[in-house]
Structure formats: C-alpha cells, structure tokens
Structure 1
C-alpha cells in the first residue's frame, strides 16, 4: 500500500508514462493501414495505487482519547481517556461510579450525601474530599481554594456535562498543582445550527428521590446561549440523611467571525444535607441505619463567573484566555456523636469557611513546520478565605446565626503564579517528542484573632512561600494502522495547605512548614484503533511520591503536620473497547453494541518513613485491582447499559492496623466489593424519552468510605424512572 504523499514523484512519473502511452496508442490508431512507420503499441502491466487515509484512524481514537493538540493544550504522549456521556444512558443523581465507569483507575469513595466528593488515583493520598486529585470544569479548578484548601465540595449535575477527560502523567505541567491526575469536566454547549430548543427531564425513585433538569438553548448566527436549572431531592437511607441539591448554569457566546469568539459562563450550585454520622464496623453490621449525629447539617453554596476569549491570528498563532471569579461558602453544624438512649450533647459548633478566589489562564499556540506546535502561557490565582467557628447551646442553630461564642477566627490568603511552555516536535518515521517546563510559585498566610478555648498556644501568624520548577518529557511513535507507542516522564507536586503551616486545633505551632510533597511519574504504553470498532490502551506506570505530609499525634490534643516518608506506586492500567456491530451492516443503521473493560493493577508501598516500622506497608486506599466493565446497546431510539465496578480490599489508614474494640471496632481493611448497575433511555418519538434504571442490582451490603471517626454505608439497591420532553 502506497501513500500519495510519499509516492508523489513515482506516481507523477507513472501518470506521465500512461499519458504518453495513451497518446502513442491514439497516434497508431490514426496511421494509414500498411504504414511502415506506424508506432507499435506496448501493453504495460496493470498497477493499483491505494491511499491510506490516516484520518479514519484519528477519528476512531478520538472517541476514547483527547486530540493530540487540543486548542492550546498538547496532550500527545500524555495518557488520556475521554468518556462521551452522550454515548451512555443518562446518569441520575450523580451516580459517579456509573458516570466514571469508562474512566480507568479512578477510585470513587462513596458518600451518599451530596456535599463532599471523594476521588483517589493509584494510591496517592486519602480520597477525603479529593485532596490529591485536581478536578476542573472547563479547565478551571473546582476546589474550594486551589492552593490553600484543595477540597471538592461541589459537583455539577452530570446531565449538564458532555464529557469527562482524564489526564495522567504530565497533568501538573499542563494545569498545575496536584500530583496526578486531572479530571476535567466539559460542559455541554449548543451545537451550531441548533434552533430554539426547550427540554425538561423529571425522575422519581427510591428513598424519596425526585430529580428535575431543564434546559433552553439556541445556536444560530453569531450568538449562542444555553441555560439550565436542576433540582434533586432525596430522603436518604437514614434519619437526618435527607438532601437537596440545586443548580443553575448560563452560557452566552458571541462569534463575530470565524476567527474569534467571546463567551461567558455562570455556574451556581447549592446543596444542603443532613449528616447522620459515621458508624463503627460493629454498628454497621448490627444496623446500618443507625444515626449517631441526629442534629448535624452541612450547607454548600458555590457561584462562579467565567469570561473567555479565543482568537486565531495570522502566521498560525492562536489565543485562549479565561478570567474567573468564584465564591464558595461551606457551613456545617456539628455536635459530638451520641447513640440513641445516650444523653444529648450540651453544645454544637457552627463552622463557616468562605472562599473568594479569582484567577486568569492565558495560553498561546503557534503551529509551525510540518505538524509542530508550541504552547506558552501563564496562570494567576488569588484566594481570600476566612475561617470562623462559634459554639452554641442550640443543637439546631441556624446556618447564619452567629450569636454563639466565637471559638475560632482566622484570616487566610493564598496566591499562585505559573509560567509554562510545551512543544511537540514531529520527526521522520512518525516520531514525536514533547519537552515541557513549568515554573511555579505559591504563598499562603494565616492570621488568627480567636483561638479555641482549650488551647494555650500563641495566636497563629504564619506565612510561607515556595518556588519550584517542573520538567517533563514525552516520546511517541505512530506505527501500523492507527497505533501509537507513548512514553512520559514528568514531575508534579502538592501545594502546602493552610493546615500544613499550622493546625488551628493543636497547641503546637511548627517553627517552619514541612517540605513540599513532590511526585515523579513514569508511564509507557501503546494504544490505538487498528481495526474498525476496536480501541485499546495498555500502559505500565511507576510513581515516586516524596515528602508525604501526615498528621503526627503528640498527645490527645496536639498534632503537627510533618513529612513522614515516601511511597512508590507501580502497576498496569489497561482499557479495551469493542463495538460488535461496527463491521456489520447494522452500523450504517446507527446500531452499536459496545463492550468495555478497564483494569488498574496497583502495587503501592512505603519506601521511606519517619515512623518506625512503616517502610514496606501499603498506603491507605490502594486496592491491588480496580476493574470496571460493561456493555451498552444504543441506536437512535435506545440506550441500554449494564456496568459493574469491582474493587479489591484496601486499607483505610496507612498503619494497616485495625482500630478500637467492641462498639468502636474498625477492621484494618475495607472489604472487596462488586457493584452492578443498569440504566436505560428510550426515545419513543422526537419529543418524548423515557428513563429507568437500577443501581446496585445485587443489593450489595458494603462500604468504601472510612474516615478517622468511622465509616459511611453505601446505598443498597435503588431504582428510578421518569421521562424527558423536548421541543424545538
């Protein structure tokens, strides 16, 4: 098989020869009979020339991975996975195991109430509030404060998302702090040419579930807009477990010409939930509906405004710039745990953490040569995050009632700046090289005016700043039909948080902050779409995570954040997708029967530690395997999906030890579990769509969320059903 580009000269000569031969044959045909000077025709052997269109392989791979150069972002040689949510049934109630079923290696630590979201990856850090994973929406961090308080308390309804992107090695060089990975949530946009369209989706289900999601959108001419409003209510599975979640989004875009666009995004999320308390293993076995904190409650409000601009300049330059402002407020009402029949607590603590953050992300791309691209950019970020607590004898104190006794008041601030550059060099034999560099700076400060009354230490007035460079190198090679080998080595880091420079609840104030936690990630693999309907991606990885920060207890009250040691995570991550109808006539009718399986095999261990006997132990939340699999049948009328998530047993604390006894007992490990879900969408006609599904079909009795004060039971078997209407 010959490529026209590579065989252009021989092909041109061949065409000239054929033309000459044809002309000669024509001249012979016109010679008079018997002419001795007539040219004698020579019959040439037949030659078939075929062109190998590489674009069909690229299009197939883009169903599962990001473009090699995605706007101003270079992702070639970085391992990426894309889940297109439109290719699976609607995810109801933010069932994140279902939404991330096609996202290899991401461990979801389930918490039924919608005020915290817990992810971890490859054994790097506790999943509590996703502190070691950078979660973004449209490339903008969703954490409370990206630097000083990188926790995830808000998550958009999955109906408002078009895809989920997962970026591993090199993610810190592409986006910034957290060792790996980046989970980027991509918002839905109205497709070009969309007329004025209105839709409503309404679902009911078990445990008092009611979900409503409503959209109006249009994209014609120079203007486009999309507005949505969502509401989810659930009674939960325990008393004081009810929750309400509200969401509103507005997207407005203006495209004066084909070379530029201006847009505005507004996102608002509001969630309120009871907190029924965590249970010991013994309590969970006896009655998983037990409530230990009947008066506790959590409120989350998050509003974000984004202004963006893209432009294509001359000489193959392009720009993407974003400015954003975010206000997030976390309020909690928490009293000490007590079992039914025991005396009630005498007081409760009302806590208010506000986060006012703003930032800018500006990136330029220059295409040069034959397929080469250079990207440069900067990110600026600021945070102003007051932290306050009051004590009140009213166990039902309202969220805005600050008449109680002040017990803590801190002014906290953060700042972050970075400069970065990457370049993809295209070399002969389809080889590509991507060197990367990023220069980082952070500074955080805490100033305290009220401290907890049980402490005797001085008021905290601490600040710390850090500079560090990050480097990365990627190598890749395209071979065969749609296959690519890739290799990436890159550095990452975890920023110092407010709690790392001084704990507000300890008598000890460290003389200096701990060292930064840094990672070095190696990954080598191969992926591709060599035949129609098949995609595969398999890689080996090795991550060294150094200067882990741990809370070290000095006594019952005093703790200090110290660098306790280093860990190493290594393993294999594989993904296989196959469409059984892709090579049949059913594909031309829009029919697909897709099966998938992705596997993450992990071996994680402590390689160094200041804690005696810690070396050789397994870090918490590092299951030796995490398997996700499923099958989906879809056409223009039906989406029917069966998915399963299976996790090995895992330790919930780094000591690998059990905790407590009797009513306080917690085993050393979270038991293995497998959960199966089924979901379906049925498009009856142009306007009406029916939805139905069952989560945890086998009614598996399990948990995968454990913190220092107990576990949280996962949902048992639940069902939902509903409908969606659309008009245009």
Structure 2
C-alpha cells in the first residue's frame, strides 16, 4: 500500500471521518444543537480550516494488478518477488493450445514447440533442458501438473486454454512459496463464474488447416450460496506428417458452496485424455530435404490424467485466515515405440509397449495473519506421496494396442516418492515506504525404486534403491515504493531440483551407482523496478544472476551403460524487461471501452559453465540458452472486437551442453538451433450478444524452422496454419 504523499491528517483518521454513517451524523448535529440551546447565547468559535490533500493510491494499485500479482495474494506473499500475470480474457481466444500466443506476454519463458500434444516443453534462463519442462514447476491453481512432482517431474498434460483465466509467472522465491523446481513457477489459473452470473451456456466450434476440429462447451452459474462451472472440450488434428494425428479431450467441473461470507468449500475435477501418433525425430539433413519425413510410423502415445481437488477457505477471526487443499491425481502414460526406419527400409521386428502410472496424493495448508499497519505473516505445510509403477513389454505386433500385455515383460519397477515441507514468510512494512520479506522453507524428500524384472540385455542385479534428502531454504526480499505507483525490488532466494527415480538408478544401464548424486541447488539474485507511473503505462525492468550448482547429467560409459552424475555448475545472468502501453487509456475512448495496447518484453541472457567434471566444458554455453528472447505485439479490444498481432523472436541456441555438432550425411545435426521469428494473428468478433466469430493465422510468414531437439533428432515446427469458427452464448 502506498502512503499519502501529503496529508495534514493521518489516513486512518481521514477515513474514519469521511465514512461516518448519515444517521450518526444527524445524531451529532442534534446533540450539538441541544448543547447550543442549553448554553444560551454563548458565542461560537470559528476554527481555522484544515485542507487535506492526498493521492489516491488505489488507481496505481489497480493499474499494476493488470500485469502483476497482488502483493499479498491470499496466503501467499509476492511483494519483492518478480511476478507477471497474463489475463487471457484481454486477448483473442487461443485455439489448439498455441503456446507461443499463451506466453507471448510472459518474459523469458522459452517454448520448445512440439506439434503432437502429448509433451509440453518449457525452460527459463538456461536452467536445464526444456524436454518435458523438467526444470520448471508448472501448476494449475497451485497444484502440480507434473506426472510425479518429486520422482518424475515431467509435463505430459496441459489444460485447454479456453478453460484458463490467467497465466502467472513467479521468479525469485518461487521455490520458497511452492517448492521445487529451481525457478520459475508457471501457475495456470482456472476460470470461475463471476458472482451474480445467471445460468449461461456457450459453445465454441472451430475448423482449420491440417484437419483441425475444435469444440469447447461451457455451462455455469453463480447466484446465492452455490456456484458451478462445467466444461467439455475436444480437439482433433491430422498433423503435418503421416502418423501425426491427435485427439484431445477435456472435462472440468467446479462446484462451490459459500454458507456465509466467512467461508467457502469447493470441489474441482479435471480430466484430460490425449492420443497422438509419433512420427519420429529427424536429422538436420532429413529436415532440409523433406520436413514431412516419417521415421517411426508405428509409434503412438496415450496420456490420461484425472484430478480431484477439495478446497476450503475460512476467515478464522482475529485477522487470521485459512486456505486448505486436498487432492488426488491419477495419470497414465502409455507409449508404443519401435526403432526408427527410413523410407524404403524394412520395418523393425518388434516394438516396446511402455506403461507408467502415477497415483499421487497431496495436501497444501496455509494460514495468514494480518498484523500491524499492513504487515502479514504466512505459515503452511505441504504433504505429498506418489505411487508410480513402471512397466515394459516387448511384442512382435508393431500395432499392439495400449492395453495388450500379451508380449514378453522386459521391465517391472515399483516406485514411490514422499515429500514434506514446512514454510513461513512475513512482510514487514517500515517507514519511508520500505518493506522487507524474510522467508524460510524446510524440505524433506524420499524416493525408492524396487525392481522385479530387468531388461534382458542387462546383467546387473535387480534395483532395490532408496534415498532421502533434507534441506532448508532461505530467502530475503526488499522493496521501496516511490513516486506515483513505482517500486524498486530486490530478492535473493534459494531453490532446488528434487532427486528423481532415474537419478538413483537407471533401469537401462548395467551400472548401479554406489550413492546418489548431490542435490542440484540454485541461488537466484534479482533487482529491478516496476510500476504504472502514468495512465496506460506499465513497465518492469530487472537484472538477474542465477548460480545453479551440482547439475545432474547422464554420463555415457559405453554404448549401453550410463550413470547420472554431478557434472558441474552454471551461471546465468542478464536483463529482463517488460513494457506495456495502452494508447487509448489517457483519452476519452477508454471510457467507451476502447483499448489499443502495445507490448514488448525481452530477456537478454548470458549463461556459462563455471565448473565441470567434463574436460573443456568450463566456459561453454548451456543448452537452450539463447542470447535474446524477444516477444512483442499489439492488441485492439473493445466490447465487440479483440484483434491481436504477436511475434516471438529467439536468437540461435545450442541444443546440447557440449556446443558441438555430431554425425554426417543423413545423421548430421548442427551444434545450434538457428534463430527464428514467428508472427501470429488472432481475432474475436462479437457480432451480437449471442454470436462471436473467431479467425486467425499462426506463423503468418510461413517460417521454416524448429526449436525442439532431443538426443536423436529434431521436431519440425508448424508452418503457416489458419483457423475459423464461431461461438454461441445463451
């Protein structure tokens, strides 16, 4: 809260004087009149007038909340942490989970694109490979979206963006607020029916290139003590290559009961089901010759994820409040994988059917105490458990069904994870508009792997390994409000990456480590300034430095045997900037609901290895650390139109830590992913109260590029694609 710039009376006194109900004012007047009459003709004394002048801090706060999280968001303290919020309702509808559009206003988040919707790949500031977002914590409503948050932190499911209200990005201190990974947290906030919403039904139907068919339906109501929202979505695509087709289904149900103004109960149910072909990765030479080449025509992936959440908030009185969540998640990953083959070659002789199931349970309980003049204290705990069997079968049937286990079992592991955390933070408000936030979090992790069947080509003993880790995390934030809606902030905080199942013993290697590697830890420093000093303008500029210690990497002993070891340390430093300006905000057009907003954000990154057990590695650039990542666009919106033109531009980047090319001829892969710029156009047109038209073009310039590379090849990105459709609301 910003204090008064100039005031003769304190703000609390002023508010108490100006908020006296009229009835009490009339009583005071009557008493005064009676007193004057009783005192006869005594002469009244005229006091000198007092002028009170104050700036309304609320207009600055409201402007900043368009782009960042509240300083105290329920039981979470975000002041002095760098946060960015994208309100998806302020831009056109995102069709087909175009993640470049979803994260266009989110600085620094690198999207490694995969057209098949069974893996989602994000990275940030060069801290780890984006494959399956293993180094980024992705959550929905504060609950992890990973398969197993601790033992297998991979992202295979992502909700349809039509069901999301906001995208929150939290850096510096994110591990202290939510837990591992190093940084950041991407929190997806689900849509809720606004208070007073009558019974409303809507349907959205879209068609597009590559056989795109998208359908999304909603029914919702929020009146009285009860609120609910239910949606169902379906997306089909033929993809850009043979064996690239996919189907994605989603169902959500939200039911809330508010018996009084002091408490609320709610139930959330999310179900995602996706099936997709896997046409295989290509060498650079194959991609140049024909990006539609298929190398694995028999491969297929199935993903099913169901989650049930029970939540409760309550005002406990005496300035205490409670937020509690209890959840259960079941996720099943099934893949059918055969060796790659080039066109004209004979098919492989067998395929591997792999089934990984994740049954995870968790609870998150947080308390907040408001005290003093704007101070807040939060304390909480997280308890988590995962039971995650891992099985494989070999079958001569290259088209074996996902539930056909008639083949020869070649792997069977029982895996489980356990995680407990206790944390606390406090924001202290000091004179001269200074505030500081100390944070502490105590972490405990335990994972175990018990193997009963090992792959037949191995001779090692069966795996029976377990490991536990305990560590404290600390953080400190400082801030100062100045001028009209500006704030400087500084944050230093620790983070970590949990030990995974594969880190204690690889199921596909003959080597068993004598002990698990050391934990990967981070220390993040960030200092910046942000604010909304004039109408329509928001800015946020910061410099950062992240030290990441004990990076875990796979070290090859020979063609078969690998071991997970600590290979070294990296340092990431740079500048991150965001600028948004609404040209219509200072004009009368803003009162008519007209907005013409331009935005630009940039991440300038310098990342290097500072220590390594690999000879010659020090000084090299870690994989997926582009020198710059630029995002910009312009959006025109009013009650009837949302029209947006956005662009994402990335510098060239290495795709592996060695910074080296490999192979030759048909197998050649260059050391770097070439730089690329992709432009998207999207629009919503509300013709009347019921009918809305949708249309857009992705990759407007038909850029021929890729930005996802794995050990055995690259994934071609989409070329130019279009969509069009309509939505009806009743």
TM range (shorter): over 0.9
What's 1:222 paired with? 225
Q: How does 1:160-309 map to 2 (within 5 A)?
A: 160-309=163-312
Of 378, 389, 393, the residue aligned with 1:390 is 393
Q: Cα offset for 1:3?
A: 3.0
Q: TM-score, normalized by length of structure 1?
A: 0.95
* 1:57-98: CA deviation from partner (whole Å, max 9, x where unpaired): 001000000000000000000000000000000000000000
**Distance (Å, rounded) in 2 between the aligned partners of 1:711 and 1:111:** 10
Of 497, 503, 516, the residue aligned with 1:513 is 516
Q: Cα offset for 1:2?
A: 2.1
Q: Cα offset for 1:405?
A: 0.4
**Distance (Å, rounded) in 2 between the aligned partners of 1:48 and 1:644:** 51
Aligned in 2, Cα 1:94/1:443: closer, same or farther, shift over 3 Å? same
Aligned in 2, Cα 1:4/1:632: closer, same or farther, shift over 3 Å? farther
Q: How does 1:80-159 map to 2 (within 5 A)?
A: 80-159=83-162
Aligned in 2, Cα 1:10/1:642: closer, same or farther, shift over 3 Å? closer
**Distance (Å, rounded) in 1 between the aligned partners of 2:477 and 2:498:** 24
Are positions 1:311 and 2:291 aligned together? no
For structure 2, which runs of at least 5 residues remain unmatched after alignment?
17-42
- Residue aligned with 2:601, SS: strand
Of 612, 616, 619, the residue aligned with 1:616 is 619
**Distance (Å, rounded) in 1 between the aligned partners of 2:636 and 2:15:** 45
Q: Cα offset for 1:243?
A: 0.1
Are positions 1:411 and 2:430 aligned together? no
What's 1:557 paired with? 560
Are positions 1:462 and 2:465 aligned together? yes
* 1:367-395: CA deviation from partner (whole Å, max 9, x where unpaired): 00000000000000000000000000000
What's 1:31 paired with? none
- Residue aligned with 2:317, SS: coil
- Residue aligned with 1:667, SS: coil
* 1:325-372: CA deviation from partner (whole Å, max 9, x where unpaired): 000000000000001100110000000000000000000000000000
* 1:526-584: CA deviation from partner (whole Å, max 9, x where unpaired): 00000010000000000000000000000000000000000000000000000000000
* 1:486-543: CA deviation from partner (whole Å, max 9, x where unpaired): 0000000000000000000000000100000000000000000000100000000000
What's 1:539 paired with? 542
Kept after mapping to 1: 8 A contact 2:486/2:529: yes
Aligned in 2, Cα 1:531/1:448: closer, same or farther, shift over 3 Å? same
- Residue aligned with 1:429, SS: coil
- Residue aligned with 2:183, SS: coil
**Distance (Å, rounded) in 2 between the aligned partners of 1:451 and 1:43:** 92
Q: How does 1:652-663 map to 2 (within 5 A)?
A: 652-663=655-666
Aligned in 2, Cα 1:5/1:263: closer, same or farther, shift over 3 Å? farther
**Distance (Å, rounded) in 1 between the aligned partners of 2:271 and 2:317:** 37
**Distance (Å, rounded) in 2 between the aligned partners of 1:42 and 1:326:** 72
**Distance (Å, rounded) in 1 between the aligned partners of 2:560 and 2:152:** 22
**Distance (Å, rounded) in 2 between the aligned partners of 1:673 and 1:493:** 32
- Residue aligned with 1:313, SS: strand
Kept after mapping to 2: 8 A contact 1:3/1:52: no
Are positions 1:646 and 2:649 aligned together? yes
- Residue aligned with 2:101, SS: helix
Kept after mapping to 2: 8 A contact 1:4/1:51: no
What's 2:25 paired with? none
**Distance (Å, rounded) in 2 between the aligned partners of 1:566 and 1:205:** 46
**Distance (Å, rounded) in 2 between the aligned partners of 1:3 and 1:182:** 40
Q: Cα offset for 1:5?
A: 4.6
- Residue aligned with 1:397, SS: coil
Q: TM-score, normalized by length of structure 2?
A: 0.94
Kept after mapping to 1: 8 A contact 2:443/2:471: yes
What's 1:628 paired with? 631
Q: Cα offset for 1:692?
A: 0.2
Are positions 1:715 and 2:718 aligned together? yes
What's 1:34 paired with? none
What's 1:70 paired with? 73
Kept after mapping to 2: 8 A contact 1:552/1:560: yes
Kept after mapping to 1: 8 A contact 2:694/2:725: yes
- Residue aligned with 1:408, SS: strand
Q: Cα offset for 1:659?
A: 1.1
- Residue aligned with 1:631, SS: strand
Kept after mapping to 1: 8 A contact 2:8/2:51: no
Kept after mapping to 2: 8 A contact 1:328/1:354: yes
**Distance (Å, rounded) in 2 between the aligned partners of 1:569 and 1:414:** 30
What's 1:2 paired with? 6
Are positions 1:423 and 2:426 aligned together? yes
What's 1:576 paired with? 579
What is the alpha-carbon root mean square deviation over aligned residues? 1.7
Aligned in 2, Cα 1:52/1:252: closer, same or farther, shift over 3 Å? same
- Residue aligned with 2:502, SS: helix
Kept after mapping to 1: 8 A contact 2:310/2:326: yes
* 1:118-138: CA deviation from partner (whole Å, max 9, x where unpaired): 000000000000000000000
Are positions 1:340 and 2:343 aligned together? yes
**Distance (Å, rounded) in 2 between the aligned partners of 1:71 and 1:8:** 23
**Distance (Å, rounded) in 2 between the aligned partners of 1:333 and 1:315:** 57
What's 2:325 paired with? 322
* 1:662-690: CA deviation from partner (whole Å, max 9, x where unpaired): 00000000000000000000000000000
Q: How does 1:677-692 map to 2 (within 5 A)?
A: 677-692=680-695
Length, aligned pairs only? 700
- Residue aligned with 1:499, SS: helix
**Distance (Å, rounded) in 1 between the aligned partners of 2:721 and 2:598:** 24
**Distance (Å, rounded) in 2 between the aligned partners of 1:42 and 1:352:** 86
What's 2:640 paired with? 637
**Structure 1 residue ranges (4+ consecutive) displaced by more than 6 angstroms after TM superposition:** 7-12, 41-44
**Distance (Å, rounded) in 2 between the aligned partners of 1:334 and 1:458:** 26
Are positions 1:471 and 2:471 aligned together? no
What's 2:23 paired with? none
**Distance (Å, rounded) in 1 between the aligned partners of 2:474 and 2:56:** 35
Aligned in 2, Cα 1:66/1:5: closer, same or farther, shift over 3 Å? farther
Q: How does 1:583-594 map to 2 (within 5 A)?
A: 583-594=586-597
What's 2:380 paired with? 377
* 1:236-286: CA deviation from partner (whole Å, max 9, x where unpaired): 000000000000000000000000000000000000000000000000000
- Residue aligned with 1:59, SS: helix
Q: Cα offset for 1:313?
A: 1.1
Q: Cα offset for 1:314?
A: 1.1
What's 1:439 paired with? 442
Kept after mapping to 1: 8 A contact 2:9/2:52: no
Q: Cα offset for 1:647?
A: 0.2
Q: Cα offset for 1:50?
A: 2.5
* 1:405-427: CA deviation from partner (whole Å, max 9, x where unpaired): 00000000000000000000000
**Distance (Å, rounded) in 1 between the aligned partners of 2:198 and 2:612:** 61
Q: Cα offset for 1:7?
A: 8.1
Kept after mapping to 2: 8 A contact 1:269/1:303: yes
**Distance (Å, rounded) in 1 between the aligned partners of 2:640 and 2:12:** 46
